[in-house]
Amino acid sequence: MNKITRLCEDDSFDYWDTIYADDTEHLVGTAFIVLQNYINSSISDLYPEMKKLHLKYSIGEKVQGNSKITKIELIITLANYYKHRDLPSELHKNTTRPLDDLNIEYKEIYDINNNNFHHRIGSNSPVFNGFSMLSEKWDFNDLFQIIEEWRENLWITEQKKGS
Q: Please list, in sequence order, all residues whose beta carbon lies within 8 angstroms of the beta carbon of residue 69, skipping any fewer than 6 positions away.
A: 62, 63, 77, 98, 101, 102
Cα angle 96, 102, 104 (rounded to 5 degrees) comes to 65
pLDDT reported for residue 8: 58
pLDDT tens-place string over residues 18-56:
667 777 888 999 999 999 999 999 999 999 998 899 989
Non-local CB neighbours of 161 within 8 Å, separated by 6+ positions: none
What is the model's pLDDT at position 11?
59
Q: What is the pLDDT of residue 20?
A: 75
Got the DSSP string for 18-40? IIIHHHHHHHHHHHHHHHHHHHH
Question: How many whole angstroms separate alpha carbon 84 and alpha carbon 66?
Answer: 27
Instruction: Report which of 47, 64, 65 is spatially closest to residue 56, judged by C-alpha positions.
Output: 47
